């Protein structure tokens, strides 16, 4: 029972933790993921990922498979504690308000050049019938990241 409570609620502490900032630079890794559709079917995938940060602003970039990278998401919110960061966004496009998307990234710094990442994506496709496979879906994945640059990159984080 204690193990279940720990799994559901995590560790709680009563001591104060000083907030910190996401580290400047560029991180690189290959994200292994699984897509879970409304009908419980699963599809595995992988994508090269870049995470760029400059003065607390974070941007995510994914490989398109042809060597180019495209920016993922907008208006990320970042919450940080020492070496531990939660980055997320919640979005509904004005042109397609029935498509609501949530993405979250848990970024843990292992040392100054190594981090691990857990990614979660949820899409609520509200204008699709409840019985359809793509009515909603989840994608989740993990990767180990290597810091490839320790300074701000104005091309990746304008």
Domains of the chain: total: 1
Tens of pLDDT, residue by residue over 104-144, are 999 999 999 999 999 999 999 988 998 898 999 999 999 99
Q: Please report, for the domain that includes residue 135, its CATH number.
A: 2.40.160
Tens of pLDDT, residue by residue over 1-20, are 555 555 555 655 444 555 67
Residue 137: what pLDDT?
Answer: 96
Residue 64: what pLDDT?
Answer: 86
Q: What is the mean pLDDT of the chain?
A: 88
Tell me if 44 is assigned to some domain: yes
What mean pLDDT is predicted for residues 36-59?
A: 94
Tell me if 10 is assigned to some domain: no
What mean pLDDT is predicted for residues 79-98?
A: 88
Long-range contacts of 115-124 (CB under 8 A, 24+ apart): 115/27, 115/144, 115/145, 115/147, 116/142, 116/143, 116/144, 116/145, 117/29, 117/31, 117/49, 117/51, 117/142, 117/143, 117/144, 117/145, 118/142, 119/31, 119/33, 119/143, 123/99, 124/99, 124/100
Tell me if 19 is assigned to some domain: no
Look up the domain containing 66 and give its range.
25-148
Beta bridge partners of 144: 116
Residue 83: what pLDDT?
Answer: 96
Tell me if 135 is assigned to some domain: yes
Give me 51's structure tokens.
């995470």
Whole-prediction pTM value? 0.83
pLDDT higher at 18 or 26: 26
pLDDT of 91 above 90: no
């Amino acid at each position: 029972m204690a193990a279940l409570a720990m799994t559901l609620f995590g560790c709680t502490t009563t001591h104060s933790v000083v907030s910190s900032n996401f580290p400047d630079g560029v991180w690189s890794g290959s994200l292994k993921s699984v897509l879970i559709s409304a009908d419980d079917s699963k599809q595995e995938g992988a994508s090269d990922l870049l995470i760029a940060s400059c003065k607390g602003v974070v941007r995510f970039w994914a490989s398109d498979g042809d060597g180019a990278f495209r920016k993922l998401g907008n208006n990320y919110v970042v919450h940080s504690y020492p070496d531990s960061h939660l980055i997320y966004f919640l979005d509904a496009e004005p042109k397609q308000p029935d498509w609501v998307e949530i993405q979250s990234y848990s970024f843990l710094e292992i040392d100054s050049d190594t981090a691990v990442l857990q990614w979660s994506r949820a899409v609520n496709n509200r204008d699709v019938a409840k019985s359809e496979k793509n009515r909603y879906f989840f994608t989740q994945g993990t990767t180990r990241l290597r810091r490839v640059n320790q300074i701000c990159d104005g091309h990746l984080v304008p």
